[in-house]
Amino acid sequence: MELEALASRKFTKYRAYVRLHAKLRDCSTLEQCASVAGELVDNYIDNRLIWQELHWYQEHGSILGKHPAFAEFRRRKDLNNMPVKALVRRQQQVEMNIWRVKNEMAKGDKPHLDAQRRERLAGYEKERADILRLLE
């Protein structure tokens, strides 16, 4: 199941890489070029990580497990096994983490960390959505 999800992500990342590569040639400002180049590099790196996972599986018949998606799969599995009381406690922690990351981004004092903060925020929001789904 995890490999199927990775294969799907690989196609998505590759298509985004191709689209952004073409878009890079049409940049008109330096900020736009920097933004497109950053997204392009992120998609390329993720595509290569997925390729390593799939290639490892093809050669060894087992999952390497280094891609960040596997941490997400493990997190979802752990959430499914938690009792309701622990889920509610985790929901409160995640809400506080979301507030903290948004507060850090609003300060704007360390713009070089914004990409990592957006990634953390997206992860917390996914986790919150999973918790809410399980609590319903």
What confidence tier does 16 reach under pLDDT thresholds 50, 70, 90?
Answer: very high
Regarding predicted confidence, which is higher, 50 or 113?
A: 50
Average pLDDT on 27-34 reads 89
pLDDT of 68 reads 83
This prediction's pTM: 0.67
Distance CA 107, CA 31 (A): 21
pLDDT of 52 reads 92
Domain regions of the chain by residue span? 2-60, 82-135
pLDDT of 134 reads 92
Distance CA 90, CA 19 (A): 38
Kindly state the percentage of the chain with pLDDT values over 70.
Answer: 100
